[in-house]
Chains A and B, each alone.
Chain A
Amino acid sequence: MAVTLAASNLAEYFESIDGISSGWALVLAAIVHVALLGAFFGLPAGIFIWTERKVSGRIQDRLGPTRTGGRFGWLQSLADGVKLIQKEDLAPQASDQMLFRLAPYIVVIASFMAFIMLPFADGWVAVSLDVGLFLILAILSLEVLGVILAGYSSGSKWALFGSMREAAQMVSYEIPMAICVLIPVVAAGSLNLGDIAQMQSGGIQNWLIFNDPFTFVGFFAYFTCATASCKRAPFDLAEAESELVAGFLTEYSGMRWSFFFLAEYASMFIVCGVAAILFLGGWHIGIPGLDPLNLGSSSAAMYFANLIGMVVFIAKASLLVFVQIWVRWTLPRLRIDQVMTTCLKYLVPISCFLFLGAICWPLMVSILDLPSLGRKPIAERLHESSVTSLDSAFEAGPDGRVVPPHENVNASDPIIAANQDREAINR
């Protein structure tokens, strides 16, 4: 059996094992990817629900769950899940049965599909696309469809009002969110999430949030919009208990109800992961001496470095999720008109201004001759990272790499060459 440990992706690895044809290799690779992503979809949801209970308890001067599964109540999410499975799966008589039963699946599928494009470490991504970020935004925008269908098909006024509010809010906040996402993209010059994270390697000053003042403010604008598009408090108008019972969730119970929450926590993780990649350096620690890439270029060392990178990335994303939970339990809920005013009168103009500023920033740097904090131009860093990743793909060959070498940015790429020329002129 000739098993190579150095394959550029899982499908090639399975193909190198005797007795597996190319088709079955693809199927096996797909199964492994889906199983891993399913774990990343389900586990954070369970952990964040437990965190939410503990944090809300502490903020409200309570203890939160303490008994289930030992000292800290860490099995509480599992107990909740078992309870929800046992509940009767019912649909109200006034509802549109087919759409009522289908709506939770649309929401879950929309937030699960976004995980396909989310890289967890260098090359550890199910599908690496040049349009990865665009596709994540497109798929997250499908979630609103499930919400509308859930509210409409419930046959209840509370649900209809809740879903109308929710849909109006999610559709409006998508606009400033998409513009805010473009700010680091302008600085990075790529829509590929892996490339964007890779060019922030090195010190903390390389993170795109510190690239210019516009990306710094853009991070906070993005985080506000992301919180709102995940329908989290203070923007959780659709579930405003005092006004609307439970919004579009009013008629749901059991597993279908929990699917909505699974999707909510999963999309919280997605938007926070995107924030970590776009602004906070992705899987890089931020201290040049501690970069796990220093471990060496052997296959095992690269694997270990990627493992550390994944832990760092998940820690960053989880920290942002923790901030969302913290904000939820400390801020009062806004009114619906205040929510729409915040979005349309403040966040849209702010994000447009930041976007224009981010476009003009390279011009300002060259005209005013601002100090660049001892940092290399981004085009140069992109070039370096693409060269190193190409080298590693062809020579060292790290195992478990999911990105085929041709998907990396080529060193002879015309855009990078043009960028370098431009940077050279600027200097």
Chain B
Amino acid sequence: MSAEQIHSGLFALFAIIACGAAIAVVMSQNIVRMAFWLVMSLGATAGLFFLLDADFVGATQLLVYVGGTVVLLIFGVMLTASGPYIRIRMSPAEGVLAGGIGILFLAMVYSTVGAVNWENVSSAASPSGLGAGVSEGFNASSQGNTTRPLGLAFIGLRPDRDLGADIHSPLSTGYLLPFEIVSVHLLVVLIGAAYLARAKRRSDTVEE
């Protein structure tokens, strides 16, 4: 048994949990059980991220989706429920429609994934491969932590590409602009939420 086999085994385990729980979300009728299966599915996806050495993305997946969104979902269900255990039933027409959309999506994913030449990609990512000089900073499994390069790229620095490169070549671009745009967007959303959720005064008390 080699390390690669363990890696593949863990991948299979997490993938089966993610897919099985996703199917259980659709099959289940109790809405809180659906939320639980969604947590299992998203948690297994976080496990896949950790398996790919994407620690930061995995931790964010746990914090935002599992810890945040699903908890809010359950809160919403509990606060708006009319009965103790709500059930959702689907009509056959809805099932056919949803199944059709699912099969179309699967076909799209299959054609997209199948269009990539994975042999080339995996050899380019390995240090001994074609693009050894370019992608040296990207080989996460041998490099360990991926958070520092990620953070540096977010503030616009790419030492993994620029260090050791030709001094006359232009500097590589980071992700500072998208990062700032997303930050401002989030700020707008926060202010908007605070504005919508503020205590509203009645107009007659204002006019006196």
Contact = CB atoms under 8 A, between A and B. Distances in A.
Interface of A: 21-24, 26-27, 94, 96, 98-99, 102, 129-131, 134-135, 137-139, 141-142, 144-145, 148-149, 152-153, 155, 160, 164, 167, 171, 191-192, 404, 406-407, 413-415
Given A149-B32, A149-B36, A144 B144 contact: no
Contacts of B78: 148, 152, 160, 164
17 contacts: A23-B1, A23-B5, A26-B3, A26-B6, A99-B36, A131-B56, A134-B56, A134-B59, A135-B55, A135-B58, A138-B60, A138-B62, A138-B67, A142-B62, A160-B78, A413-B148, A414-B152
A152 B32 contact: yes
Interface residues of B, number: 39
B67 A129 contact: no
A171 B4 CA distance: 39
A153 B77 CA distance: 13
Contacts of A23: 1-6
Nearest to A407: B144
A353 to B, nearest CB: 18
Contacts of A24: 1
Given A130-B55, A130-B148, A142 B36 contact: no
Given A23-B5, A102-B36, A141-B68, 6 more contacts: A24-B1, A134-B56, A135-B59, A145-B67, A145-B71, A414-B163
Main SS at interface, chain A: helix
B33 A141 contact: no
B178 interface: no
Interface of B: 1-6, 30, 32-33, 36, 39, 55-56, 58-60, 62-63, 66-68, 70-71, 74-75, 78, 84-85, 142-148, 152, 157, 159, 163
A108 B73 CA distance: 22
A148 B74 contact: yes
A62 to B, nearest CB: 40
B74 A152 contact: yes
Given A23-B6, A96-B30, A144-B71, A131 B147 contact: yes
A26 B51 CA distance: 14
A33 B146 CA distance: 23
A96 B85 contact: yes
B6 A145 contact: no
A137 B59 CA distance: 9
A197 B152 CA distance: 23
Nearest to A409: B148
B60 to A, nearest CB: 8
A135 B152 contact: no
A163 to B, nearest CB: 9
B66 A142 contact: yes
A134 B46 CA distance: 14
